[in-house]
Amino acid sequence: MFSKACEYGIRAAVYIALQSLDGRRVSVNEIAEEIDSPIAFTAKILQQLSRNNIIHSVKGPTGGFEIAREDMDAVKLNMIVKAIDGDKIYVGCGLGLKECNAQKPCPLHDKFVDIRTDLSKMLKSTSLFELATGLEVGLTYLKR
Amino acid sequence: MFSKACEYGIRAAVYIALQSLDGRRVSVNEIAEEIDSPIAFTAKILQQLSRNNIIHSVKGPTGGFEIAREDMDAVKLNMIVKAIDGDKIYVGCGLGLKECNAQKPCPLHDKFVDIRTDLSKMLKSTSLFELATGLEVGLTYLKR
DNA sequence: TAAATAAAGGACATTTTTGTCCGATTAATG
DNA sequence: CATTAATCGGACAAAAATGTCCTTTATTTA
Ligand code: FES
Ligand code: FES
């Protein structure tokens, strides 16, 4: 569904949001540890998110990553997915034709579009804050 | 969503079904031409489908691939997807945890499972025959 | 101002996916 | 029985995704 990079990106963003709720800035090392991801690869992904203004980074001692409280509401999953995986899951054809096109649809088009629309709506309506709170209460997990 | 191999596999299977409705057996070369896919790679995928009894192959002159009329109804997309991509789309966690587990769910679990269930239902209920008929009538396309 | 800390970024390495090539096998036909 | 047409199967090649390492840059603090 999502690339590994995107999965790490979402997990990382949720963890940063959770810690930012406590006013804590976190380092790549801590993030990678807490979401069980490869450190250097995770660093690359965080750079992408930072460049896309999804998370905020601070260099130097006491630096790290954080997300402002308002941004946790404003940042929806679709923004993270788009920043990392691009829009292929939104415009791609389920059977691999150049692009999805209702004028010349593939045999699976109608059924595929239904699913994709649901997915898209879900991603557009799910905020980082929402995901972080489940974690905070101990209902959900970022690693096992 | 699906791998390239799986996309080619579905397109190929639908094309074979369409031609089998006319009693025509088709070669790898014809299939690759008609679905716009790499020939040798497509051959590999057809072997997989053949080994999984999803399509039938005949060697030698006048040979090729075909699907019996009854099988077009019996073969659902989920069988093709499972034969090529395995069951990762059915049991995988949306955020990349080892496996999806409602006991220790990731933050996206509930919402992800909804989508995945819809996708799974759709694949389980869509037959090759159904997809081939849309093509036959000229409503849908396997290449552009 | 020097040392230490943390992200940024580029080059490189590994693994997986996608794709190619070619000889072996099977079967139809003259 | 020889030829030919087709899939089968293994080895290989290329490309993309994933992952690592190391140097540079910015910033804090002693
Ligand atoms: S054309 Fe294939 S999904 Fe729309
Ligand atoms: S645990 Fe992540 S989707 Fe179920």
Ligand sitting nearest the alpha carbon of A101: 1
Closest in B105, B107, B142 to A106, CB measured: B142
Predicted confidence (pLDDT) per residue in B38-97, tens digit: 999 999 999 999 999 999 999 999 999 999 999 999 999 999 999 999 999 999 999 999
Query: What is the pLDDT at residue A100?
Result: 97
For strand D, give the nucleotides within 7 A of a protein CB: 4-10, 17-22, 25-29
One-letter amino acid of A96:
G
For residue A14, give Cα distances in angstroms to A35, A63, A72, B92.
10, 18, 9, 19
User: Which residues of chain A are within 8 Å of residue B139 when distances are taken between CB atoms?
Assistant: 105
Residue range A20-31: mean pLDDT, rounded:
98
Q: How confident is the model at residue A141 (pLDDT cuts 50, 70, 90)?
A: very high
Residue range A119-128: mean pLDDT, rounded:
98
Chain A 2-61 residues whose Cβ is under 7 Å from strand D? 3-5, 8, 37-41, 43-44, 58-61
Q: Tell me if A1 and B92 make a contact (CB, 8 A cut-off).
A: yes
What pTM was computed for the model?
Answer: 0.95
Residue range B18-43: mean pLDDT, rounded:
98
d(CA B106, CA B15): 40
Q: How confident is the model at residue B133 (pLDDT cuts 50, 70, 90)?
A: very high
The CB of A94 under 6 Å from ligand 1? The reply is yes
Query: What is the pLDDT at residue B8?
Result: 98
Closest in B96, B115, B141 to A118, CB measured: B115
Q: How confident is the model at residue A66 (pLDDT cuts 50, 70, 90)?
A: very high
The mean pLDDT value of chain A amounts to: 98
User: Which residues of chain B are within 8 Å of residue A8 when distances are taken between CB atoms?
Assistant: 96
Which CATH architecture fits B4-85+127-136?
Answer: Orthogonal Bundle (1.10)
Q: Where are the alpha helices (H) located in chain B, listed in sequence order?
A: 4-21, 28-35, 39-51, 69-74, 77-85, 88-91, 109-125, 128-136
Query: What is the pLDDT at residue B102?
Result: 97
Q: How far is the CA of B134 from the C1' of D13 (A)?
A: 38
Residue range A73-100: mean pLDDT, rounded:
97
Burial of B88-101, coded b for 16+ CB within 10 Å and e otherwise, reads ebbebbbbbbeebe
Residue range A76-97: mean pLDDT, rounded:
97
* A118 in reach of chain B (CB within 8 A): yes
Which of A78, A143, A107 minimizes the C-alpha distance to B98?
A143
Write down the domain spans for chain A. 4-85+127-136
Q: How confident is the model at residue A104 (pLDDT cuts 50, 70, 90)?
A: very high
CB atoms within 10 A of CB A47: 13
